[in-house]
Structure formats: structure tokens, C-alpha cells
Amino acid sequence: MAPTPGDAPTDGPAVAAPTDGPTGNAGTDGSDDASPADSAIPADGPADSAIPADGSAEVVPTRRAPMALVTWAFVVLVLVIVIVLLVVKIARDSAPTPTATAAATTPAPASVVNAAVTVPDLAFNTVGAPAATGPGATVLTGQPPLIVDGRPAVVYVGAEFCPYCAAERWALVVALSRFGTFHRLGATTSSAFEVFPELQTFSFVGATYKSGYISWSATEEYSQALASTAPAGFPAVKQAGPLAQSLMKRYGSDPFSGPGSATATGPGTGTGTGTGTGTGASLPFIDIGNKLLIEGAGIGFSPGLLQGLSMAQIATDLSDPTSPVAQAIVGAANQITAAICSTTGQAPARVCRSSGVRAGANRLGL
């Protein structure tokens, strides 16, 4: 009997459907072709691949990036970000500290400068060396000479906001003008927020000094006006150089006490009001050839004497030996001059042998 279409022959072996082939149903007409809807994914093929019914084109399976590759890419990205942040931080930390524009851009009036640098001999000799009205200078003994460029050195470190610096600059300009010449002296005031506010005075920012007798180094570390932006405080103008810093560390008194007012036998051993054991120094800090140290309040007179006076008034009073201004500033200048003369071999003789300077030397015990 002829077999019915679609039935397996009864006299032949049964044919099993392959396990790895398509699992779709055969057509009702006995054809082996399967429709697209009836096709199945091979057991060993990619889950996301599809084979067209007519076999005319092959669809490439979609590949997924290995998980390890994704992880490493993420790690590299994080490292790059960290390195960039570190570079930015290092660059910011190594950048120079912003400095303030020099406050003393206004030149000191020529008439004021002329009066300060030409104080008459009569005023020097009449004033002499009055006793200090507060902590005085410290005389250093047994110290090596302070020589710069072959000449005895005078080193000044101050700040424009500082009232004691403001007062002492007058005495320095008067005294040093007996040994050389200043150029481009500026005009400034002490801070309005300090004790003895707004004292009118000179500034050494941008100034130069020439002398055949001594070497001069001056640094104004801070401006006189409070910063309007961060960081708060008085903006830095210029940092003291290595020599000045070493002298301040060696001879400076404890920053929380005043300077010694008696003779010192070694670095930082003054027996006055200072402990002499600190590594810091008060401003102003003035080292005259390692012979005389003037620091902080130890300028010998009160800055209050200059309160409310203009530069012109102060300059005029310098020539009047009876005025409190001359008694303080010219008297201090005579002592500074005597200390300088002790380092120059008493030269120039006309200055160093004058009665006012000799009075200053006697007052200091030089």
C-alpha cells in the first residue's frame, strides 16, 4: 500500500530529527522548509543572531565589549583625572605669592627730603643724645663684622603698616644721609588700624642709596593698607633676603616680647625686656654692622610724637633743636651715626668727630 504523504515509510528505519538542527514543524504538504516564524535558534549559536529564511544574507552577531576591558578603561579614566588634579594643585602651590603693588608710588616731596638730609650741624650738636624714653637699642659685642660688598653693612627690615618703622625711618634717613645719598624716597603712612595710626613718613620701597662708606639693604615686607581680597591682612610687598633673614633669626628677640635694652654679649642674649631666645624678630629690625641692633619698640622714643603732623611739619621741626621732634629723631640719628662710625674707622671724620655723634657714642658705650 502506498504511504500517505508526510508519513515515514513503515518498512524503513525511523529517522530522528537532529538535536542540533532547527526544531520548527514541517509543512503540511510534506516540505522540509520552515517559515521564518517557525525557525528556532540553534542550541550552539549566539542568542542574539538571526538567520534569514531564504539564506540569502548572513547577519553578523552583535559583539559586546569584554567586561575586563570596560573595567580597565574606567580605571585609566580615574587615574587621568587624579593626575590632572595633582598637576593643577602643584602648579598652584608653586606659583609665587601675589605681591601688592607698592603703596609708596608717590615720591616724597622734594622739600621734605631736602630738609631731612640737610639737618644743620648745630641741631645735631645741640640735641646730642637724650636718654631713651622707652626700650633702647641693643649693643652687640664680640660679633663678627657685618660686611657686604667690602663695606660695613646696615640692614633694615620693616613694613609700611608698622608705626615704629614709620618713626624710625625718619631717624635712618637723617643719619644715613651723613654717609651717602638716597634716591627715589617714597611717601607713605602707617596703617590706620595700628596703634599710632597714619603717621606720615618715608618709604624705602623702590628707593636706592649710594655710599662710599657703607652698604645699605632695606626691605619693606608689607604694605600699609589692609587687603580687600583674600588672604586677609596686610599684603606682602617683598620678602627679606637670605642675609636679613639669617640676622633676624640670629639676633631677633622673642616675637612676643620687646627687645633687650642692655648690652648683649652674644646673639639673642640681651638682658633687657626681651627673652632673647626666640627665632623671630619684631619690626623694625635694624642691624648696624653687627654693632647695634634696633628692634621693635626699641627705637628709643614714642611714635606718638609724630601723631597728627604732616611730613612738612616734621621736616621743619628737625632743624629746631628745641622741638620734641628734633629731640627724638635727631637724638636717635646721632646714636645711629655713632654706631656706623664704629664700623667705618670713624670716617668721615667731620661727622664722626662731631660733638653730637660723640654724645651718641657715649650714650651707647661705644
Q: Model confidence over 153-195: pLDDT tens digits? A: 999 999 999 999 999 999 999 999 999 999 999 999 999 999 9
Residue 92 burial (CB < 10 Å; 0-12/13-18/19+)? Answer: exposed
Pairing of strands 208-211, 180-183: antiparallel
Q: What is the pLDDT of residue 79?
A: 78
Q: What is the pLDDT of residues 187-222, one digit of tens each?
A: 999 999 999 999 999 999 999 999 999 999 999 999
Question: In angstroms, rounded to a whole number, what is the distance separating the alpha carbons of residues 217 and 156?
Answer: 6
Average pLDDT over residues 1-20: 43
Please, what is the Cα angle at 265 between 259 and 268, to 5 degrees? 40
pLDDT at residue 85 greater than cutoff 60: yes
pLDDT in tens, 246-285: 999 999 985 443 333 333 333 333 333 332 333 479 999 9
The H or E element spanning position 182 is: strand 180-183
- pTM score over 0.85: no
**CA dist., res. 228 & res. 186, Å (int):** 23
Give Rg (Cα) of the chain: 45
Looking at residue 356, what is its pLDDT? 98
276, amino acid identity? G
- How do the domains of the chain map onto residue ranges? 110-364
Binning the chain into helix, strand and coil, the percentages to the nearest 5 are: 30, 15, 55
The pLDDT assigned to 212 comes to 97
**What pLDDT score was predicted for residue 78?**
73
Residue 64: its pLDDT value, please?
Answer: 58
Q: In angstroms, rounded to a whole number, what is the distance separating the alpha carbons of residues 254 and 135? A: 15
Q: Are 226 and 103 in contact (CB under 8 A)?
A: no
Please say whether the beta carbons of 38 and 32 come within 8 A.
no
Bridge partners, residue 107, by sequence = 186
**Is residue 152 very low, low, confident or very high in pLDDT (cuts 50, 70, 90)?**
very high
- 3 state SS of 110: helix
- The amino acid occupying position 278 is G
